[in-house]
Amino acid sequence: MKSSLKLSPLFIALAATIPTFAHADDETAKDGFIEGSSLNLHARNYYMNHDIRSPHADDSKEWGQGFIAKFESGFTQGVVGFGLDAYGMLGLKLDGGGGTDGSSILPVSDGNGKAPTSFSSGGAALKIRAFDTELKAGDLFLTNPVIAGGETRMLPQTFQGVSLTNTSFEGWMLEGGQVSFDKPYDQSGMRRLTTTYGDLGDQTTKHLTWAGVSWSGIPEITSNLYAAQLKDVWNQYYYDLDYTHALTDSISLNPGVHFYHTENSGKALLGDIDNNTFSLHLALAMAGHTVTAVYQRVNGDTPFDYINEGDSVYLDNSQQYSDFNGPNERSWKLQYEYDFAGIGIAGLTSSVSYSRGELDLTKADPNSIGYGNWYNPEGKNAHHWERDLGLKYVIQDGKAKDLAVSLRWATNRGNTAYQTVDNDVDEYRVIIDYPLDVF
């Protein structure tokens, strides 16, 4: 692995705060390398129809079968335990090509309009545990608000780097790390980190470094505080607070807030960034019914940006198609969910939502190095809306237990001013997941 191991002060400061030898009795290290190991297989069948409704645009329709195998060892005996995690992934093309590829399920075509018949990848990470502190180095699956691998396609996104976690204090989890490469969910090889909306051109960023803490000390409350630095691009800070209050045995109220602040740093490869983005939600749950109202706001002349193909956009209006995160965008959402277990159909859930966003694209900087494409002199009253429908069934028992079928449909429409930055789209997804614990 070719990567920089020079850690930023952010990571060093976090590492210094972690009590490596917090307890004299380490229960987690007693399983042993073999005794504590597990092997999981996951088969995912994925059909995606990305139907662009704009004139002269081609549909993107792909169908594939993915297989993911994950091995996680236990730790060797002793004060310091050693272990190994490894994975292998295979994606097979079932349909897609002849001008219909490009939905992001399969790799980008080789120029003849056809995606390859298969693609694969594999990797491993060495892990070391001392009491409540665990260090991993190698290929990583990451999930946190500032660096999260994309899980919304046939195969997941992975990263190469190091990570450190500590759980010494009850209700607290501290973590930090640094990654220099990622494997996209629709490719085989590694690449340098890029962002979803910024245009780095021939420039590259060396690594992303992060540190954070999660708190769940009270059953009804969770909170996260994270900071990240994308080298020579941005510093990003995140905070959330979520509270669930039980009004009765069957009725609960759930308010919450997510907040990101992003500012350019170092060489500012994407230009000036000064962005504050937040979302507020209020959910009412009653006997299997949940109604959620959301307000989201982007304060800044650049979009809220994050690692390309990643899921590190912990905002309430991040929908199937749009994240409603354009520059100066204000958006609202109303969502209804129902769990059919209340009428005796355990495992069946549904959701429907409507979101609307309004943008002033005249405030975007046309001379921005990375985000100038958002500028539209006629875009003062740009707006778009999205409708999302979802239905999912998970088999509860028997030989096919945990097999899940998901049906998802999203429609996004914008006015003429908005269509300078995005297209009208209908998107259909059919996903079949079958996880299997081998041992």
Number of domains in the chain: 1
| Alpha carbon of residue 280 to chain centroid | 19
Task: For the beta carbon of residue 111, count every other beta carbon within 10 angstroms.
Answer: 6
The one-digit pLDDT tens for each residue of the chain (439 residues) are: 333 334 444 444 444 444 443 443 444 445 799 999 999 999 999 999 988 887 666 678 899 999 999 999 999 999 999 999 999 999 999 987 666 667 889 987 666 667 888 999 999 999 999 989 999 999 999 999 999 999 999 999 999 999 999 999 999 999 999 999 999 999 888 999 999 999 888 888 999 999 999 999 998 999 999 999 999 999 999 999 999 999 999 999 999 999 999 999 999 999 999 999 999 999 999 999 999 999 999 999 999 999 999 999 999 999 999 999 999 999 999 999 999 998 999 999 999 999 999 999 999 999 999 999 999 999 999 999 999 999 999 999 998 999 999 999 999 999 999 999 998 999 999 999 999 999 9
In a domain, 144, yes or no: yes
| Distance of alpha carbon 185 from alpha carbon 396, whole angstroms | 29
Tokens of 110: 């080789």
Tokens of 197: 């909306």
| Distance of alpha carbon 142 from alpha carbon 140, whole angstroms | 6
In a domain, 113, yes or no: no
Look up the CATH number of the domain holding residue 204. 2.40.160.10
In a domain, 88, yes or no: no
In a domain, 43, yes or no: no
In a domain, 338, yes or no: yes
In a domain, 336, yes or no: yes
In a domain, 421, yes or no: yes
In a domain, 35, yes or no: no
Query: Cβ(62)–Cβ(98) under 8 Å?
Result: no
Domain membership of residue 346 as a residue range: 9-30+50-58+129-151+166-437
